[in-house]
Chains A and B, each alone.
Chain A
């Protein structure tokens, strides 16, 4: 099987550590359920991502060099 995470069009997905997550949640003053979602079976996710984890996605942007997005892993 192809590992899509190595594809140049797939941005970097990393699982957020607990303290990083805490920081993100306080920065935006939200619960994790207020984050955009990503499905557990999404091929771009790292293998150790579990439901309930928050993923940081760093993608190249047309308007800024890089944009950082967070997503909650769901079923």
Chain B
């Protein structure tokens, strides 16, 4: 335990490393590509040199003397035979080449220009804007110069061939200049260009005649000024492009001469980063700890990808040196140089476009430095921002309606693995001993204990009894999770706050996590195989925070829309609907059965007495038992009726989705805001259990007969469809006879399509209406649709009436073959059938062709969701990264980490959407809130009136105070 004291980071500096620095920090120079000798010992000055650190346990590091685990490893270095370009800086190298003089290396800006950019840079820095904008502008300006303002040298274009080759492109005299001049002097009779004699040329260009003749014979190369004169006189181009490859060594020399004061304008700190350091002459070799070799089962060693790459580099480096010493031809040297460049490049980044990736013998591309860092699985996103954690569990989830919404069922085998640290005191000594004596296998047991001297002992089946007796106050016991412990529960994708909530543990048999179905909406969970994660908290602070801030009941209201996100769903809603819609009667046994899982164990006064003299309770009265005694509410409900609650009694209305449902159920929402989260949790729990009892009392199922309609209706639907088909035929006929009038802004074709679509959608609606007539209000599908539990009347229409038009991209189906959708139809058949109108219902069954069109429409939906989720996931990531560091400060402003203000008042009004909610038609009811607060604040009418100032109380404090009495209700304003 050394060197573990936390230290403050004072500053971080980014810059380039000087070659000398690489050499200084190097533990050894690496000269041989071999790793281990025949006896399995690492070779000195090889890639596995023991001075680079140790990975085998037991060995000692030759550099620092520590053992594996405490030695971080040490860098080595390779002396490159020739400089190579660092791929990470190719863009900057290009910019510098373009912006500086090829002769004197100075920035191609006059001193004035340079000073101006300097000022701009300071300004940008102050406003924390992107400095790159300024430096880029400076380079752009410098590139415009044809000549160096300091030494006058002509500047050439720089061509960059990715990834690491640079060319100078110059316009030079073409080798066939004499032919071109002679050709142009011939003239062209057809074009009307006259012949030019050498005399005339000499005169026009002011070149001596002898020179002209020499030029024409090709024995004298005209100088630049002469070339330009001839070009102008004869209107020809005598140049050709000459590309001159810049070798890394040339670039290095070029950069070495760039003066320090020019660097600053380019945003480079010359003290920390000289540009020539972007051209590597020394390559650092990562310590072995960063590229450990592994021993396979058969005893063979398998090296890390980085080691493989380093082997390549060293081999080429050696060959380069040998060839150069042997005086090999320039061509070979250049080839080797390029190869060295390739290996060093792929050592750093093996995913460069245009360069074939370096591959393993097996053909798999090597994972080199950049690949280790980049992307989701990379060091940053995969190992630092997010990593595997201890005390976590993941398994399939399943529903359990008997749990409270705050609870989670944890499998016993998970509970025995996740532990909580117990600090043993006098008061919990007995518990601690019991846990330890239960051992690691029994439930509530313990896995480890820690003695006051810091020694940790494993609790085993064998030693648990003895160990339990030794446990005393001051020990620590790592006990199993037990009922009531708090854990964090999460389902991915974690798109909002409610995707991670704290639950209380209930240990259960079997292998799945159990949760109450009302928490499905915030997690967006269902039970078709979904898995969820659980995290056991490891210190008291975390547990307290989770309990107070993260428990499910604290997340009842969504900050997204300020209403409840937790509430009754699906069968709960059907159940409540059945219980309250027709306000059915229940006898005592039935009523008690409905309420058996709630806190209510005594029934209220019966609602009435039936004809046989038996007392009965209505659905409304049973439901009212769950409401707070003084709740008053009045609003229009789900089914369109008036819902009236007075003094906690439901007087009128159906309880369904808009009343107790998940997204903004009015009653749940009101109870949460007025009576608090705890009351709301109790209410939602009880609503869900009452609803389950109710739905089981009435029975609720759905079958094929529930969607079947009488033959008579069937034939009426057929008629409607036939009718629509006829009308479509009429439209087509009108179209073919050019009698169709186009709608404003539409072509004839579009008009026809629109009219057909209209006709067909009306036909489907009509079919649906006919089918609807035959469904009673107690039809389960109708109950679900009306109560908002699941499905809509449209679904019912499609099941019983007709499925209707299938669409791809919002149009009738038009794709497939040339001029037709399927080969079953004539080309250019415009009929409903040929373009995906499904006239059958799901119950009657689709024809093969209908089925095919239906699959086309269905496929579009699937593709849409798939594309949407990936798009929105990326968008979400970007948004979260952009907003994650914004924070509301104590003064109400929202600021980023550099204290720049983003909002002067959070959300403009400084309020949390969860604490306040109002919309266009529901303003905040200030009066009701005020009277409610007054009611709870003051017991007597007198106190309240005195507070409101409407009736002052007499005092004996001062004669002046007596004024208040005589002045009656008047309150003086100056005190």
Interface residues of A (CB under 8 A from B): 28-30, 33-37, 61-64, 67-70, 74-75
Contacts and interface: CB of A to CB of B under 8 A. Distances in A.
Contacts of B904: 28, 67-70
A24 B128 CA distance: 21
B899 interface: yes
A16 to B, nearest CB: 13
B126 A34 contact: no
B901 A28 contact: yes
Which 7 A-B residue pairings sit nearest by Cβ, starting from the closest?
A: A63-B909, A67-B908, A64-B909, A61-B908, A34-B900, A63-B908, A34-B899
Contacts of A75: 123
Interface string B123-145: 10011100000000000000000
A35 B901 contact: yes
A54 B891 CA distance: 21
B485 interface: no
A18 to B, nearest CB: 20
Nearest to B898: A34
A40 B16 CA distance: 38
A51 to B, nearest CB: 10
A63 B901 contact: no
B911 A28 contact: no
B293 interface: no
A56 B899 CA distance: 19
A41 to B, nearest CB: 16
Which of A37, A63, A74 has most chain B Cβ within 10 Å?
A: A63
18 contacts: A28-B891, A28-B901, A30-B899, A33-B127, A34-B898, A34-B899, A36-B901, A36-B902, A37-B127, A61-B908, A61-B909, A63-B907, A64-B908, A64-B909, A67-B904, A67-B905, A68-B904, A69-B904
Contacts of B908: 61-64, 67
Interface of B: 123, 126-128, 891, 893, 895, 898-902, 904-905, 907-909, 911
B906 to A, nearest CB: 10
Nearest to A66: B908
Contacts of B893: 28
Specify which of B127, B905, B908 lies most central, judged by the most chain A CB atoms within 10 Å of its CB.
B908
Contacts of A35: 900-901
Contacts of B901: 28, 30, 34-36
A68 B909 CA distance: 11
Contacts, number: 41
A2 B123 CA distance: 32
Given A34-B901, A62-B908, 9 more contacts: A28-B893, A33-B126, A33-B128, A33-B900, A34-B895, A34-B900, A67-B905, A68-B904, A74-B127
A39 B891 CA distance: 27
Nearest to A37: B127
A2 B132 CA distance: 35
Contacts of A29: 891
Contacts of A37: 127
A75 B893 CA distance: 25
Contacts of A28: 891, 893, 901, 904
Nearest to A59: B908
Contacts of B905: 64, 67
Contacts of A30: 899, 901
A4 to B, nearest CB: 22
Residue from the set A28, A33, A36 with the largest chain B CB neighbour count within 10 Å:
A28
Contacts of B911: 63
Nearest to A61: B908
Contacts of B909: 61, 63-64, 67
Contacts of B891: 28-29
A62 B907 CA distance: 10
A35 B899 CA distance: 9
Nearest to B910: A64
Nearest to A63: B909
A36 B127 contact: no
A74 B127 CA distance: 9
Contacts of B907: 63
Contacts of A63: 907-909, 911
B548 to A, nearest CB: 28
A69 B909 CA distance: 12
B902 to A, nearest CB: 7
Nearest to B896: A34
Contacts of B126: 33
A74 B126 CA distance: 11
A56 B904 CA distance: 12
Contacts of B123: 75
A15 B920 CA distance: 34
B917 to A, nearest CB: 11
A68 B903 CA distance: 10
A61 B904 CA distance: 13
A37 B127 CA distance: 9
Contacts of A33: 126-128, 900
A74 B891 CA distance: 26
Contacts of A34: 895, 898-901
Nearest to A29: B891
Nearest to B891: A28
The listed residue with most A CB atoms (<10 A of its CB), out of B898, B901, B907, is B901
A33 B899 CA distance: 10
A13 to B, nearest CB: 15
Nearest to B903: A69
Contacts of B898: 34
A67 B906 CA distance: 11
Contacts of A61: 908-909
A38 B893 CA distance: 19
Contacts of B895: 34
Nearest to B913: A63
A29 B900 CA distance: 11
A55 B186 CA distance: 73
A29 B907 CA distance: 20
